Amino acid sequence: MSEVLSGKIREKTGKVATKEVRRNGEIPAVLYGLKDNLSFSICPDNLKDILKAKGQNALINLKVEGNKQRKVILKEFQSHPLKELWVHVDFLEVDVAKMVKVSVDVHLTGKSAGEKMGGLVNQVLKSLHVECLPTDIPQSIDLDITAVELGQVLHVSDLNFSDKIKILHQSNEAVVSVYLPQVAEEEVADEEEELAEGEMAASEDVPAGEEASDKKEDSTKNEG
């Protein structure tokens, strides 16, 4: 496997040009550089091998023809709506000595104590925004929920991180909770009951004048 991601400069851009790139079995890509931006194409297998070996948040050595090799990270990608493949990729050039802001996936591990008692797991945050050096970007954040009980909530403050990583979230922000399904159902039932009682009270509060008027109209209709 090559440790370097190779790219070919795209002389033309736009829908027609990008379709041609895909027909040739390559992925159109854009590099947002420190000093310039580049439009180029890459081999999907080359990128797949690198990400498989290093992870999606890997620091990648990118060499686009006619340009010097650069350190980049995967910034964003677009997936095909029907097929399991990427149709466009954006890369961000980084300075390895400067902090970057990235999003890191949160993976839950283990089966919580609350689940074993019939509870359901609600993962509030699927990913976390962090700031760190490019060489310190974690591939994922693994959160062991084995000890989480029914009704318990884990917050950002409950997570353990390296001192090299800064979490860009409020410490009291919920990450995951375990709850009983019937609790949610009871709350909905209570809301429906309150709504029904409110409608009944509203019907009972019709002014006497309006009731008399309605009776008079009914009497007039009967006489006619």
Task: Provide the CATH topology of domain 4-94.
Answer: Ribosomal Protein L25; Chain P (2.40.240)
Q: Given this model, what pLDDT does residue 212 score?
A: 47
Q: Given this model, what pLDDT does residue 14 score?
A: 87
> Phi and psi dihedrals of 23, rounded to 5?
-65, -30
Pairing state between β 70-79 and 60-64 = antiparallel
Task: Provide the CATH topology of domain 101-179.
Answer: RNA Polymerase Alpha Subunit; Chain A, domain 2 (2.170.120)
Q: Given this model, what pLDDT does residue 194 score?
A: 62
Q: Given this model, what pLDDT does residue 199 score?
A: 59
Question: Domain limits of the chain?
Answer: 4-94, 101-179, 183-223
Q: Given this model, what pLDDT does residue 196 score?
A: 64
pTM, full prediction: 0.71
From 126, 127, 121, select the one nearest 177 (Cα to Cα): 121
Per-residue model confidence as pLDDT tens for the chain (224 residues): 568 999 999 988 888 988 999 999 999 999 999 999 999 999 999 999 999 888 889 899 999 999 999 999 999 988 887 777 889 999 999 999 999 999 999 999 999 999 999 999 999 999 999 999 999 999 999 999 999 999 999 999 999 888 999 999 999 999 999 998 875 555 545 555 666 666 565 555 555 454 444 544 554 444 55
